[in-house]
Amino acid sequence: MMASWPLCTVATVFIKRTCLTHGYIVPKIRGLWQQAIRRPNRWTSNPTGFGRSADVDGSHGLREFASVNGSDCSDGGSQDARGFFISTPIFYVNAEPHIGHLYSVALADCLHRQHSLCGLQGKLSTGTDEHGIKIQRAAKQMGRSPSDHCAAISAKFATLFQQANVAATDFVRTTEERHIQAVQHFWQTLLHRGHIYRGRYEGWYSSADEAFLTKDQVKQSGDHRNNIMVSIESGQPVDWIAEDNYMFRSCSILLFLWYIWKRFI
């Protein structure tokens, strides 16, 4: 039987682990990814104040930090001429940013600055995920349209990162036209190459957690009269969902991924 994963799961694993990790990119995949995301002014457009370089040259402390992994940055260069790409999570805009969001961005910023100290040219991308049932519900509770809600919360994320002096080269909103075009290009390429097919997926789904759960992850709530099922971990109610969906032919790349990552297994 053909092994299959929901496309969103595959995209996360395929793009972040295969395409975007420390420059270990197979040329064919790299070409596909670059075609999808490279647009005019992809990194130079600066609608939110991002796009500046990491200001680390004058910091002795950061130079010392840069040598932790054994990189010789004393001459301002590196033996490794490969570039690098670092991506933070794209944050949901169902609520305002908090210190947990800033923490993950700060870690990525430190890594970006370390690489920059070693003379490597790279990108640090962050941004907001502006799609989902939780966002729609949050907008309704605030009495505004989803688009207005997304714009307001996304601006707060951008402001927070600027105030923290995060040297991100780009801030991407998933509702932006450039992101939509990139996703459409990537999707059409996968479809054209036969990696996507239509199938039926069903299971217990938690709208609050935005996740499908197995039968071992749900239980009946205390209210036996209404026969409500909830997530064991979060306590949130779940519904049985059955829907047509797009599936990824994972078997077509599993051997390829194993070959790339076998040294980590």
Angstrom CA distances, 216 to 203, 208, 211, 229, stand at 12, 18, 14, 12
Taking only the tens of pLDDT, the chain with its 265 residues reads 334 444 443 343 333 443 333 333 344 444 444 444 443 333 333 444 555 445 544 444 444 444 444 445 554 444 455 789 999 999 999 999 999 999 999 999 999 999 999 889 999 999 999 998 889 999 999 999 999 999 999 999 999 999 999 999 999 999 999 999 999 999 999 999 999 999 998 999 998 888 899 999 999 887 667 788 999 999 999 999 998 989 998 887 887 788 777 766 6
Instruction: Let me know how long the chain is.
Output: 265
Domains of the chain with bracketed CATH: 39-191 (3.40.50.620), 199-254 (no CATH)
CA 116 to chain centroid, in Å, comes to 22
How would you label 213-252 residue by residue, b for 16+ Cβ within 10 Å and e otherwise?
beeebbeeeeeeeeeebbbeeeeeebeeeeeeebbbbbee
